[in-house]
Structures are given as C-alpha cells and as structure tokens.
Amino acid sequence: MLTKRIIPCLDVTQGRVVKGTSFTNLRDAGDPVELADFYYREGADELVFLDIGATPEGRGTMVDIVERCSEQVFIPLSVGGGIRSAGDMRRMLEAGADKITINTAAVNSPELISQGAVRFGAQCIVVAIDTRRQVDGDEPGWEVLTHGGRKPTGIDAVWWASESVRLGAGELLLTSWDADGQRTGYDLELTRTISRTVTVPVIASGGAGSLEHLYQALVTGQADAVLAASIFHYGTYSIRQAKEYLASRGIAIRIQGEDQ
Amino acid sequence: MKSSDRREITIIDYGAGNLRSVANAVIKLGYEPVVTGNPDKVLAARIVILPGVGAAADTVHSLRELGMEAVIRRLVREKRPLLAICVGLQVMLSETEEGGRHPCFGIVPGRVKRLPEGQKVPHMGWNQVKQRTSHPIFQGIPDEANFYFAHSYYADPSDTSAVAGTTDCGASICSVLIKDNLVATQFHPEKSGDYGLRIYTNFLRLAEQSQPERRTRQ
C-alpha cells in the first residue's frame, strides 16, 4: 500500500534557508544542504527546495545546492522558484533534482507544463498552485495567485488544477495563502475539492501548526502528501514524531528505523 | 585490467534518466561511476547500470539509436551483472502500451501496461516490496520494506519465475525482476534511503562474485 508522504519545505534565498531554525545540533542551520541531510536522517519522505528570491544569481546558487544535496541525500528532491524554461528544468534535473516545481511560469506559459512532461516525464513536473479563498454566494471558490502570492489572476484554482493535469502535470502542490503561516490548519475544503477533481497526487501546503493538522489534511483533505516548514524548522515536532503520530492514527506511513 | 578499473561502474547514458543520482549512489558506496553512451565501452565494462526516467518506447528508441540494444542483449545472455532501474526494467519486456503499442527488448516475455484507474497515477511515493524469493539482492532488507516509486506504467511479465518482488498499487505489480545477473527494479533504489543503497550494495557484491566465473569462461 502506498504510504502518505511527509515533506519538509526549505525556503531558500541567496543560498540560505530563510525561516530560521532552532536546531542547535547543526553546525549551520541556515545551510540548506545541512538541513536537508538532517531531515533525510530523520526520515523525511521527500524534500522541497523553493528559491523564494528567484533571481538569476539565486538560480545558479540553487544548482549548487541541489548538486551538493544529491551527493548525500538519497530521497526525492523537488526544486522550484524562478524556473521559466525547459532549459532551466534540465539544469536542475542534471544537478540531481527529481522533480521540478513550477508556479508563476506555468500560469504565464501553460505550454511549459507540456514541454516538461514530454521531455522529462510527467512524474517530474509538479505544478504549484497558490490560492486565496473567494466569497461568491454559498459555493466555496479559490483564486490562483502568482508571484509568491502577491498577484491575483482571476483564474479559478479548481479549473487550473484540472487544466495543469490535462497539460501533463504529474503532481500538484496546493498552497492556501489564507492559511499559510497561521498555524491553524490546512484549507481542508480546498485540498479535498482538488484532490477529488484530479487523478494525480496532491500535496497539501499552508497552515500546519499541529500533528492533528497533518492528519486532517491526509484524511479529511484526502491529500497524498503534506508539506510543512515551520513546525519542523522550529523543532515543534520532529519528522519522526509526526510519523509516529500519524501511524498511531492508522495512516499508512513509512517509519524509519522500524522498516528502515 | 588496470587496478583502477576494479572499482569502476559503468552507467549507460542515453540522453535521459537520473544519471546524477545513480552516479552519486555509486560514489557513496566507494565506486567510481563511468557515464557513457558508447556501446563498446559498455560491452567492455565489468558492471553496468541502466538508469531510467521517461517513457519505455522513447528509451528503447534512444538505446537503439546508440547501438545499445545488442549490447544489453549480450550482457544478459552472457549473464553479466546489469542493474536496470524503473524504465530500465520496463524495456526488458516484450512490448509497452505507453503511447500506443511499441516493441521493447523482449528479454523477459510480457507487457508494460498502464496502471489501473481508480487511484492516483503516477504511482508516486513509498510503497512496500514483497519479497517473492530469498535472493541475495534482498540481504539485510526486511520483507515489505518501503522503496520510492514514480511511474504510470508497470511491467507484467508472463514469465513469473523472473518476478522476485511485487508491490500493491491498485494492481500487484512486478517491482523486482531478476534473470540470472540482470537485476531490475521498478522503484528508484538511489532515492529509497538506506534500503535503496542496500540494494546497490547487494547488487555490487553479487556483481563482484560473478566476475571470476566470467573470466574462466572467456
């Protein structure tokens, strides 16, 4: 049985992890490679690097980070932020990334999804969809945001999710900007609506504050994976604690040390 | 043979595939990866890895263009150590349904099929491998350990004697295929943590053990 994935997200700018961490046992908690290795050893199922600066210089730095990371971290690595062409994708894949996350570039040039899927395989094209809730009568609705959540597009997120998959996305990374940073839980309605709509795996993101929230996203939200940053970075919970909690509640989880 | 050759592992480069990750796994285990698209070099190699990402038909096409099909057939026929990963497993079968019907290498009879509907495709994430044999490739790995998968098609060999491991993902799929010294995995051992690296270690040990036999035969 396919297990649910726990994915720590590392926001990086100019080669440094942005959100501070409180791991005192790391030599340099701001070094993305060292933090990635730490999570790998803790039993993370996958890692996401997001270059939130997304400058051309930052991209070069990210290639270096991915290269160094893939030398010591033997779980899937997903890389996003500022990837605008099939050439950018190739550079990251050649550096050792397994998946490419595209967001604004996919909205601006949807053909980028197809190009990536055809050249590199659907399994390595992740479309990240940033959303904000819209109030429109009784029906819930979500609008797609681009440019790191700054720019509303008027595009319906549920439609865009289906369209991304039609174009070749192998996975969706859904972020609720209403919930992000609030630590009050994922937007379960958004997650469930899109997870039921598409046939590809869905990663829930934005709002994790407790282990119960992870459980809710996987069960009520029907997500295939949960992404979280601060609850892990600040050491509120370890990956292992999160996994043991979810396993104790009956979720299929890979527990390192028991099975590996 | 130069002494420096002894730790070399040859990785087939056909313009796709996650070469970097495979090379990194090989380095981690103390070997030296040699990445090449040259059939002569592959034929001369002691130990060969065929990585795989993408579609089986494209992979077959790219390998044929390079003149690698005959080399791969010969490696298997001569029972030389070959580790094939993901699509590398799929190309060993007779044909694939991906993008229409396309012939593959037919080294193991059977077909590559689309994963069944009613579940998320690609089959993406960590899933258990049920060990169907007590083959040394599984040494130190408990039954039903998790490995990392990322694929939309799967191998369905008609010769079930080659199926060494299976995984349940809607269908019960062949996740480990073994024919003599060909070891093929549908999952990515280089992305499967400690147990994945253990698959590499076990394969390399088996490969080393098969070397003297090969030399006496030649």
The model's pLDDT over A47-101, given as tens digits with 9 standing for 90+, comes to 999 998 867 667 778 999 999 999 999 999 999 998 999 999 999 999 999 999 9
Query: Which residue, among B107, B78, B88, has the nearest Cα to B181 in the 3D structure?
Result: B78
Among the ranges given (A20-24, A196-200, A201-205, B125-129), the one the predictor scored with the smallest mean pLDDT: A20-24
Query: Which residue, among A47, A196, A90, A48, has the nearest Cα to B120 in the 3D structure?
Result: A196
CA distance B49 to chain A (A): 17
The rounded mean pLDDT for chain B is 92
Q: Does A45 touch chain B (CB under 8 A)?
A: yes
Q: Which DSSP helix (H) or strand (E) runs through A88?
A: helix A86-95
Tokens standing for residue B3: 């002494």
Q: Does A40 touch chain B (CB under 8 A)?
A: yes
Query: Which residue, among A224, A196, A67, has the nearest Cα to A205 in the 3D structure?
Result: A224
Q: How many CB atoms lie within 10 A of CB A102?
A: 26
Contacts of A122 in chain B (CB under 8 A): 122, 152
Cβ-defined contact of A3 to B120 (cutoff 8 Å): no
Chain A interface mutation, best of B117, B126, B130, B152, highest count of A Cβ atoms under 10 Å: B126
pLDDT on residue A24: 57
Q: Which is it for strands A225-228 and B8-12: parallel, antiparallel or unpaired?
A: unpaired
Q: Please determine, for residue A16, whether its predicted confidence score (pLDDT) is greater than 90.
A: no
pLDDT average, residue stretch B183-196:
97
Beta strands in chain A (DSSP E): 5-13, 16-17, 47-51, 77-80, 99-102, 125-136, 139-146, 151-156, 171-176, 202-205, 225-228
- What is the secondary structure of B6-66 as a DSSP string? GGEEEEE-SS-S-HHHHHHHHHHTT-EEEEE--HHHHHH-SSEEE---S-HHHHHHHHHHT
Residue with tokens 């046939």: A199
Size (chain B), residues: 218
Contact at 8 Å (CB) between A172 and A193?
no
Contact at 8 Å (CB) between B129 and B137?
no
Q: Does A197 touch chain B (CB under 8 A)?
A: no
Query: Which residue, among A48, A45, A46, A26, has the nearest Cα to A35 in the 3D structure?
Result: A26
Cβ-defined contact of B193 to A259 (cutoff 8 Å): no
Question: Would you place residue B3 in the very low, low, confident or very high pLDDT band (cuts 50, 70, 90)?
Answer: very low
pLDDT on residue A258: 52
Domains and CATH numbers, chain A: 5-248 (3.20.20.70)
CA distance B83 to chain A (A): 18
Amino acid occupying residue A43: G
Contacts of B128 in chain A (CB under 8 A): 1, 259
In this predicted model, what pLDDT tens digit does every residue of B90-100 receive, in sequence order?
999 999 998 88
In this predicted model, what pLDDT tens digit does every residue of A231-257 receive, in sequence order?
998 888 999 999 999 999 999 999 976
- In angstroms, the CA A41 to CA A139 distance is 44
Question: Would you place residue B67 in the very low, low, confident or very high pLDDT band (cuts 50, 70, 90)?
Answer: very high
CA distance A150 to chain B (A): 31
- In angstroms, the CA A200 to CA A165 distance is 7
Q: Is A187 a catalytic residue?
A: no
Question: Would you place residue A25 in the very low, low, confident or very high pLDDT band (cuts 50, 70, 90)?
Answer: low
Contacts of A225 in chain B (CB under 8 A): 125
CA angle B173, B175, B176 (to 5 degrees): 135
Q: Does A258 touch chain B (CB under 8 A)?
A: no
CA angle A85, A87, A90 (to 5 degrees): 115
Query: Which residue, among B191, B182, B205, B202, has the nearest Cα to B139 in the 3D structure?
Result: B202
pLDDT on residue A257: 61
Q: How many CB atoms lie within 10 A of CB A241?
A: 14
- In angstroms, the CA B163 to CA B183 distance is 10
- What is the secondary structure of B51-118 as a DSSP string? ---S-HHHHHHHHHHTT-HHHHHHHHHTT--EEEETHHHHTTSSEE-TTS-EE---SS-EEEEEPPSS
Cβ-defined contact of B18 to A98 (cutoff 8 Å): yes
CA angle B174, B178, B182 (to 5 degrees): 130
Nearest CA in chain A to B173: A1
Tokens standing for residue B45: 């190699």
Cβ-defined contact of B120 to A200 (cutoff 8 Å): yes
Contacts of B24 in chain A (CB under 8 A): 70-71, 74, 96
For the domain covering B3-217, report its CATH number: 3.40.50.880
